[in-house]
Every structure is written in structure tokens, then in C-alpha cells.
């Protein structure tokens, strides 16, 4: 359950305005220990830096300083905000859902390696108060009777990979030859890489705002090979990597073959003369034409022949060539059927005279 921290919206705005001038680095009480405000004695405890300086909310990161207890069970770290120089943790409701909660992975007298227990809630808490590119979170460190507050931690937006959409087919599963939309949060606007399995894809554009991110691309029609089975599916790993190297992986179901369509088919002439010994050409325009489509040639006198559509590599155009000497005079219809149920995809007519 996501929480909203409405009571601190106004004070957060004040905080951002004041912090744009300077970042608190010393305790305002008579016994400064460095590293921030928040009250209480900080003698012998300081904070010098955060590494990396701009972590993701779900990253492990290191707080560098002095005076920490090497026994990590005797140190505590909580995320929160400063109001008038005083630290306040983000908490409310069930303790297990507090975005202020933090696990100390390891400790020494000069370093604490920490990780947020609830990174999504931390992201919501530290960003929801103001549309700011960096969060306004700080962390308070306590050990024994000492406590110190870090400088502002410029968290990046949490990176989430939520799912995909095929806007052409209006389904969530991707298909070769179609556009693919990838939904999430925290994607960079440039420098992002997308791959399926070990194969990289070319990105068309990225929309990324405070609340959502969308990557748009087009999958090559032969991305999964030359399968003609439009019902075949498989699960492949989709990877999105930000410009800073942060990666997310998600197993997504994909169709293995592009969708075939025929938009038009027509003979170059409506009538041909058998005596001329010419060639009848029928031009076909479509999408991802497949060699498992079947061409039917039927005449008005009852003759019938059929053959595969002569294409390779899923082209969008094709020309059928029929020689007149072997054909009887009469009216002809050319049809193309495709798929497991022999669906009719296109037809045209012509006349052959003497």
C-alpha cells in the first residue's frame, strides 16, 4: 500500500528553498559533530560523504564518516527529512511499511553500508512532496547516545520495469515487426539500452516523467528467425539498462512470428491474350508475406491449381507471374489463403482470351 505524506508538503517546500542555498553539514547545537542537524550530541560522530553520491532508492550505498559503532546491531539509520533543522522520519501505519526503515549491511568505525527496506515507499515519500529531480531525503545515524544527520541524499528515481504493450495488436505480448512499448519508471531520457536475450534493439523514443517512463521501439520482423507460425510464443528476458549501468530484467512472453496481411492484389491488366504468349503479372502488397501462404488459381471451366506464395524474408510486396501458353481461355480468379484455418487473405480476377 502506498502512503501519502500530505502534512509535510508545505514544510518540504520550505526545505527545498533553503537547501538550494546551502546543505547543512554541522549540528546546530553547542557540540557539533559534522554531517548535519537534528539535535542531540554528535561528539565524535561525523558524516563526510555518501557513496555513490546519487544512489537509487533500492541501491546499497555507503555512508562515510567517523565515530560509527563497528557492531552494526548498535547503529541505526533512518531516512527522513529536516524541518527547521530537526530530523523527522517518514513513518506511519504498520512499522513494516515505513519508508524510513533501513538495514545496515555492514559497519566499521568509518563506514556504514546501508540499504532501504522499503525502496518503493522511500521513493514515494522523498519525491511526492515536490516535483524535484532529486529527492530531499536525509538519513539520521544513531549510535548509543550520539546521533548525526547526513547532508541531503540526491536519490535518483527508483527504476521499475512494469511490462510491455503492442499498440498495433492491443495486447501486452510483443510480436516481431510490430511496435513495442516498455512501461516503467526511472528510465533515463538518453543513453538507455534495451535487449531481448542477448540481442540489442534500436530505441525510437523515450518519454520519462516523475511518475512514469515509456520506451518505444520496433522489433525487427525476423527478430526470432523465420518462423511462420503466428500462434507460437516463447518467454524471453527483457533487459532495460540506464545510462549509468543500472539494469532491470523481466521475463516477457513474445510471439515468435510477425503477422501477415494482404492489403491489395491486382493484375497489371484486366484481360490478356493467349495468342500473344505474354506473362500475366499479379502485384501483391501487404505486410510480412510468407511462403506458407497458398495461391489458388481457378478458372471458370473448373480447372484448379495451387502453389506456395513465392517469397522469402517476410517482404511487403510480391509479383506472381503466370505464363499463358499452358492456360485455357476463360475467366480466372486468383486467391491467397493463409493460416491453420485457411483464411482468405486476398483475391483478384482477370480474363484470358485467344
What's the confidence (pLDDT) of residue 24?
32
Let me know: does 153 contact 137? Beta carbons within 8 Å.
yes
Distance CA 68, CA 132 (A): 31
pLDDT of residue 28: 31
Distance between CA atoms of residues 185 and 162, nearest Å: 8
pTM (two decimals): 0.78
DSSP assigned state of 329: S
**Interatomic CA distance for residues 122 and 90, integer angstroms:** 8
Q: How far apart are CA 186 and CA 36, in angstroms?
A: 28
69 pLDDT above the threshold of 70: yes
Q: Which residue would you say has higher pLDDT here, 5 or 93?
A: 93
Q: Where are the domains of the chain?
A: 6-149, 160-255, 261-353
The domain made up of 160-255 has a fold known as: Immunoglobulin-like (2.60.40)
pLDDT at 129: 54
Average pLDDT, the chain: 85
Q: Does position 3 have pLDDT exceeding 60, yes or no?
A: no
Report pLDDT for 65.
96
CA distances to 17, 50, 136, 152, 196 from 22, rounded to whole Å, are: 10, 17, 13, 10, 45
CA distance linking residue 298 with residue 316, whole number of Å = 24
**270 conformational bin, left if phi > 0, alpha if psi -120 to 50, beta if neither:** alpha
Q: What pLDDT band is residue 306 in, cutting at 50, 70 and 90?
A: very high
Q: Do domains 6-149 and 261-353 have the same CATH topology?
A: yes
Residues 170-220 pLDDT 10s: 999 999 999 999 999 999 999 999 999 999 999 999 999 878 999 999 999
**Res 93: pLDDT:** 76
Q: What contacts 178, CB < 8 A, 6 or more positions away?
A: 166, 168, 169, 218, 219, 258, 259
Cα distance between residue 120 and residue 301, in whole Å: 72
Mean pLDDT (whole number) for 6-20: 32
Contact between residue 35 and residue 65 where contact means Cβ atoms under 8 Å apart? yes
Residue 37 pLDDT level (bands cut at 50, 70, 90): very low
Say what the alpha-carbon torsion angle 174, 180, 185, 190 is, to the nearest 10 degrees: 140
β-bridge partners, 349: 333
Give 73-127 as a 3 state SS string: HHEEEEEEEEECCEEEECCCCCHHHCCCCEEEEEECCCEEEEEECCHHHHHHHHH
Is residue 348's pLDDT more than 70?
Answer: yes
Structure confidence at residue 134 (pLDDT): 52
In what order do the strands lie in the sheet containing 233-241? 199-201, 193-196, 233-241, 247-255
CA atoms within 13 A on the CB side of 147: 17
pLDDT tens string 122-178: 888 877 654 444 566 899 999 988 999 999 898 898 999 999 999 999 999 999 999
Q: Is CATH 2.60.40.10 what the domain over 261-353 is classified as, yes or no?
A: yes
Given a cut of 60, whether residue 40 has pLDDT beyond it is: no
Q: Which CATH superfamily is domain 6-149 in?
A: Immunoglobulins (2.60.40.10)
At residue 133, the 3 state secondary structure works out as coil
Distance CA 30, CA 23 (A): 19
pLDDT bin (cut points 50, 70, 90) of residue 349 is very high
Cα 146 to chain centroid distance, Å, stands at: 44
For 88-114, what is each residue's pLDDT tens digit?
Answer: 888 877 787 888 989 999 999 999 999
The pLDDT of residue 10 is above 80: no
Bridge partners (DSSP) of residue 344 are: 337
SS3 content of the chain, % helix, strand, coil (to 5): 10, 45, 45
Dist. CA 194–CA 213, nearest whole Å:
14
The reported pLDDT for the residue numbered 5 is: 38
Q: Residues 317-334: what's their mean pLDDT?
A: 93
Amino acid at each position: 500500500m502506498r502512503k501519502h505524506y500530505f502534512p509535510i508538503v508545505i514544510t518540504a517546500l520550505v526545505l527545498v528553498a533553503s537547501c538550494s542555498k546551502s546543505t547543512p553539514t554541522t549540528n546546530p547545537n553547542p557540540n557539533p559533530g559534522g554531517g548535519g542537524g537534528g539535535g542531540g550530541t554528535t561528539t565524535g560522530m561525523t558524516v563526510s560523504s555518501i557513496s555513490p553520491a546519487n544512489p537509487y532508492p533500492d541501491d546499497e550505498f555507503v555512508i562515510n564518516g567517523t565515530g560509527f559503532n563497528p557492531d552494526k546491531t548498535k547503529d541505526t539509520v533512518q531516512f527522513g527529512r529536516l524541518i527547521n533543522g530537526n530530523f523527522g522520519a517518514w513513518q506511519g501505519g504498520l512499522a513494516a511499511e515505513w519508508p524510513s526503515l533501513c538495514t545496515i549491511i555492514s559497519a566499521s568505525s568509518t563506514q556504514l553500508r546501508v540499504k532501504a527496506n522499503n525502496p518503493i515507499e522511500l521513493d514515494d515519500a522523498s519525491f511526492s512532496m515536490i516535483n524535484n529531480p532529486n529527492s530531499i531525503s536525509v538519513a539520521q545515524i544513531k549510535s548509543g547516545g550520539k546521533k548525526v544527520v547526513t547532508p541531503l541524499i540526491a536519490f535518483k528515481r527508483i527504476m521499475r520495469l512494469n511490462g510491455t504493450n503492442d499498440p498495433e495488436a492491443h495486447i501486452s505480448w510483443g510480436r516481431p515487426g510490430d511496435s513495442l512499448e516498455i512501461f516503467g519508471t526511472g528510465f533515463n531520457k538518453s543513453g538507455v539500452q534495451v535487449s531481448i536475450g542477448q540481442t540489442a534493439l534500436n530505441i525510437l523514443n523515450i518519454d520519462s516523467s516523475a511518475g512514469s517512463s515509456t520506451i518505444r521501439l520496433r522489433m525487427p520482423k525476423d527478430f526470432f528467425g523465420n518462423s511462420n507460425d503466428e500462434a507460437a510464443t516463447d518467454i524471453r528476458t527483457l533487459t532495460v539498462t540506464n545510462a549509468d549501468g543500472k539494469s532491470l530484467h523481466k521475463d516477457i512472453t513474445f510471439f515468435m512470428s510477425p503477422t501477415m496481411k494482404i492489403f491489395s492484389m491486382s493484375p497489371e491488366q484486366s484481360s490478356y491474350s493467349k495468342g500473344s504468349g505474354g506473362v500475366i503479372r499479379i502485384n501483391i502488397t501487404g505486410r510480412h508475406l510468407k511462403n506458407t501462404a497458398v495461391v489458388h488459381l481457378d478458372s471458370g471451366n473448373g480447372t484448379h491449381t495451387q502453389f506456395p506464395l513465392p517469397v522469402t524474408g517476410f517482404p511487403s510486396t510480391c509479383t506472381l507471374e503466370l505464363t499463358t501458353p499452358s492456360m485455357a481461355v476463360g475467366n480466372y480468379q486468383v486467391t491467397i489463403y493463409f493460416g491453420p484455418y485457411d483464411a482468405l487473405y486476398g483475391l483478384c480476377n482477370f480474363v484470358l482470351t485467344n
